[in-house]
Structure 1
């Protein structure tokens, strides 16, 4: 199946919500996301409308990209957040330089793997968008026990920085930072 990679539109909040809820049902969601299914499912329609509009086509500080199949089904998604130097990141750390931050990476199981190419296409589009707005660095964090995701990130050209942050909630577990710079 072919997929078109594109930014979401503000009126697609239901699809954004449904894909996020599916992501949070994934067997490794506890390693991949900082949110539970129950918390996300309890959010109002107004929340999902605002969230979608805030990362839709034309927004300059964040962008949610989706892979839409020939059948109209969304096969996956990734969101790029723009972090400005001097701001504080989601882990409470000071951001040292302007950069992109990839979050919410999810590809439906039936669209995973090299043959499908969905994850790679989403990452290519996220990096293209980041470079297009002038960013020179994009990072992401991966749970220390999420080997499948880490292997893909390495294959996509991201490299570990050696920096890690504790998982929220004082679980004793860590998130590892990976980065790619323009031209790598």
Structure 2
């Protein structure tokens, strides 16, 4: 069995939109169900059983953060790029993206027609990822592999892959989704 990819959890952003929307703490420290947003994300990463790396050194842009995390994990078989502000992501979704990397060098998850995270990159993408800079992230790498028909678009049944926290309203929406999830689980027991 091939080595699994490393989940790169990006936690370097400034969270300016969250502050502008009325947030009084950094969005990753904002409380969701009594716990910080980032802790919810890390719980799913830990539960996935995949190796992981937290990139929280305060880089100027997403591209810089991804490149730093890839440098820190250079021996990896691949990477799943997961922003730290996706507190509802499910461990099974991380495993699905990781499994799809065995078939294509780039994996892009979707939910309900919306592009989500984590985006997966096989080891063949290492040099391109190391060259990232600025705020663009890895979008141009995804586009180049899509142009070569070397991308897997997978539909996840996980709204958590598209539920990021950029504003106070996003946090309230995530809380409502979490409450609905808990209520549904309570009805099934």
TM-score by length of 2: 0.26
Q: Which structure carries more strand by proportion? A: 1
Q: Which structure carries more helix by proportion? A: 2
Q: Which has the higher contact order (CA 8 A, sep 6+)?
A: 2
TM-score by length of 1: 0.26
